[in-house]
Amino acid sequence: MEKQIAIIHAYINAYNNFDISGMIENMQPDIIFENYDSEKRTLSTKGIEEFETQAKKAATLFSMRNQQIKGILKNDAENKFEVSIIYKGIFAVDITETLKKGTEITLEGKSIFYFCNQKINKIIDKS
């Protein structure tokens, strides 16, 4: 359990530092990533290459981003960890008429990490 928590912390630190290589370092080759906004799936990738491509694209949208862990709950039955997150970011580009470059956002959500053989094999982000 401590190894998985260390991997989660390393992933989030890499995310906060725009370190894509660090984000994928502890992932299974067939990693599944899903993002949900208000219970609606907005993004899905399968495989480390798709994840890496999407992560690089997403990194260009922000000049600053930070995930802060509020808490971690382990579910032994499903070998998953639910991580409560406070997310802050500043847009590096105009996204919409209201979300312009320099706009700061703050969200609360959770990231659910699934593990297989001490590597992340699925991440679900919910906000």
We report the CATH number of the domain holding residue 113 as 3.10.450.50
- Give the type of residue at 38: S
Q: Give the span between the Cα atoms of 64 and 105, in whole angstroms.
A: 10
Helices of type H across 25-105: 48-59
pLDDT at 34 over 90: yes
Tokens of 116: 């297989």
Q: For 98-118, what is each residue's pLDDT tens digit?
A: 999 999 999 999 999 999 989
Name the β-bridge partners of 104. Answer: 90
Q: Could you list the residue range(s) of the whole structural domain that residue 50 is in? A: 2-126
Number of domains in the chain: 1
Q: For 54-99, what is each residue's pLDDT tens digit?
A: 999 999 999 999 999 999 999 877 789 999 999 999 999 999 999 9
Name the β-bridge partners of 66. Answer: 88
Q: Give the span between the Cα atoms of 109 and 127, in whole angstroms.
A: 4
DSSP state of 92: S
